[in-house]
């Protein structure tokens, strides 16, 4: 993988981690509020899980395969 592509993936990874962290804090705050729509909390939790999957995929692309 060339360095520019690798840097781009790292930038994307940082951005996704930041979004995941922010979303985690939002979900935790909203989940404690009984007036919040539970479907909204569920939607945000699903988004958080999708972000986690994207983060894991990017991390695996950035880490060299030790079995190759």
User: Can you give the pTM of this predicted structure?
Assistant: 0.81
pLDDT at 66: 58
pLDDT at 2: 72
The closest of 20, 25, 28 to 50, measured between CA atoms, is 20
pLDDT at 40: 95
Q: Where are the domains of the chain?
A: 14-62
Low-confidence ranges of the chain (pLDDT < 50): 68
33: Cα separation from own chain's centroid: 24
Q: What gap in Å lies between CA 35 and CA 40, rounded to an integer? A: 11
pLDDT at 18: 98
């Amino acid at each position: 993988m060339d360095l520019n592509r690798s840097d781009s993936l790292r930038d994307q990874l940082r951005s996704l981690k930041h979004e995941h962290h922010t979303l985690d804090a939002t979900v935790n705050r909203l989940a404690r509020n009984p007036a919040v729509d539970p479907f909204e909390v569920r939607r945000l939790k699903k988004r958080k899980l999708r972000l986690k999957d994207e983060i894991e995929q990017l991390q695996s692309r950035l880490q060299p395969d030790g079995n190759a």
